[in-house]
Structure formats: C-alpha cells, structure tokens
C-alpha cells in the first residue's frame, strides 16, 4: 500500500528553508540531517535541459537555493556536476566506440543521421536520461533527480513510450533500490504553466502520468517486495483552483483507494 498526494507548489519550495524563525530553520536542518542515513530518504524530480550545468533557468535557481546553507556531507553542486560531466563523457566515448565496431546498414537519410550524431555535444545528455545530486542542507529533500526533457513535453501528443515517461520509470526503480521512500514528481511534466496548456491538455497529460506511474508502482512490488512509499504529484503554483480540483478528483478514479473504516460506540 502506498501513500499518494497531490500538491500545488513551486518545485523549489521543497528545497528552500522558510525563514519564519531562526530556530525553525535549525530544527528543519536537524531533521533532514538525522534522516540522511536512514532508510527513508526523500527525492525530488527536477526537469532540466540537456546541458549538465547550473548556469541557466531552473538549474541556476536550484543551485542558488542549494548554496544558501553549507552542506557538510556532500560536495557543492558545481563539484557534483563536474563529476557528472566526466561520467557522461566517458559513457559517450564507450558507446561511440561500440557503435564504430558494429557495421551500420545505410538507409535513406542515414548519412544525415550519422552527421547529427557526430555533431552532438558529447557532454550533453539525452531526453529521458537523468543525473543525481545529493544534499543534506535542503528543506525536505535528500536526493534530486535532474531529468532531461525537451520541448516535446509541451505538446499534447506524447505517449507512454516518451523518453520523459520512461525516465520516470527508471527514477522509480532507483528509488526502490536505494531506500528513497518519498518521491515528488511533476504531474504535468512541466514546472510552469503556459498558454497552450488548456484544461483538456492538463487532463490528458495528468491521466497519462497517473496511469503510467500506477503501472510503475505495480512493478515496484517485484523490485522491492512491496515496501510502502509516498508518491507526491506536484502541479505548478499558478494552476487554477478549478483545474486542481479536477485533477484531485481524477486521482481516486485511477488509483484504487482504500476504504475508510468508521468505528462507532454502542453506548
């Protein structure tokens, strides 16, 4: 049995320390530190572009938040990203050498495709791939999955085989093998709303992600023996109240919700 939540919030709200009082920040950091070496870690999926850096967009904002407090357990974000880039370069080199060893049958447009592969920046990652950073100084998160997505996620015709969806499956598999019992997933596969994201677009996208994650959660039983986990579906802060309630009503229709048991006294 798993716990499901639908949350409307800014994605970085799970990382920021809300400074209502200095003692509150210290208690939150202490709680995060105490659970850092437990078997109940918290993860967050952050949607990023294909460049492994912290210099633009949501990556820059995240790096700023992660550096507000000193991390005494793990290297700084930029240092972790340098290691990730080295691993990506090594993996690309290994993959390229294997492709050169295998004969490639020419097809229509085959030479153009080969040129595109050659011209691709070997330090970039592909849609659906992700890298991980570890943190002990964030508010509610220990692990951040930086999932690469492209502009295709803003279209309304992605399927269950889309790289972003398959990336979510691989992220959930990592959660099962590394004691991450709480994971926050962007339900619409975007962090901000835009004009093309109409009500039908949101409903169609939410239904797709709900059903795919449900299937992945059923697979979890064979991955980890059915350990109870918490999956938080995150929608942008700017989403309308009406849209939020429609999505919340969709959740129990797709997932089987346990019935409540009401106890009454016979007195």
Q: Is the pTM of this model over 0.95?
A: no
Q: Judge whether 191 and 44 are in contact, CB under 8 Å.
A: no
Maximum CA extent, the chain: 83
DSSP E strands in the chain: the ranges are 3-8, 41-48, 130-134, 143-148, 180-186, 230-235
**What's the 3-state SS for 226-239?**
CCCCEEEEEECCCC
Of 63, 46, 55, nearest in space to 190 by CA = 46
CATH classification for the domain delimited by 3-94+119-254, as one of 3.40.47.10, 3.40.50.720, 3.40.220.10, 3.40.140.80? 3.40.220.10
Can you give the residue ranges of every domain in the chain?
Answer: 3-94+119-254
Confidence class for position 110, pLDDT limits 50, 70, 90: very low
Give 44-95 pLDDT, tens digit per residue.
999 999 999 888 899 999 999 999 888 889 999 999 999 999 999 988 888 8
Paired sense of beta strands 41-48 and 180-186, if any:
parallel
């Amino acid at each position: 049995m798993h716990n499901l939540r639908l949350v409307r919030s800014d994605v970085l709200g799970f990382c920021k320390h809300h400074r209502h009082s200095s003692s509150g920040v210290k208690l939150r950091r202490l709680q995060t530190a105490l659970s850092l070496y437990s078997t109940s870690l918290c993860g967050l999926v952050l949607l990023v572009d294909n460049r492994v850096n912290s210099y633009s967009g949501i990556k820059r904002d995240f790096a700023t938040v992660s550096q507000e407090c000193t991390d005494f357990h793990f290297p700084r974000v930029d240092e972790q990203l340098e290691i990730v880039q080295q691993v990506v370069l090594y993996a690309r080199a290994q993959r390229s050498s294997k492709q050169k060893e295998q004969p490639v049958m020419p097809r229509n447009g085959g030479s153009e495709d080969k040129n595109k592969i050659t011209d691709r920046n070997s330090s970039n990652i592909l849609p659906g791939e992700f890298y991980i950073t570890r943190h002990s100084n964030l508010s509610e998160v220990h692990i951040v999955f930086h999932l690469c997505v492209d502009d295709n996620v803003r279209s309304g015709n992605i399927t269950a085989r889309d790289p972003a969806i398959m990336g979510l499956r691989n992220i959930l598999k990592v959660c099962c093998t590394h004691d991450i019992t709480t994971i926050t997933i962007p339900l619409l596969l975007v962090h901000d709303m835009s004009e093309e994201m109409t009500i039908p677009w949101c409903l169609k996208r939410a239904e797709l992600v709900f059903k795919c994650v449900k299937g992945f959660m059923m697979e979890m039983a064979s991955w980890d023996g059915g350990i109870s986990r918490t999956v938080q579906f995150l929608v942008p802060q700017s989403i309308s109240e009406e849209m939020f309630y429609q999505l919340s009503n969709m959740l129990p229709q797709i997932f089987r919700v346990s019935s409540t048991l009401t106890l009454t006294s016979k007195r």
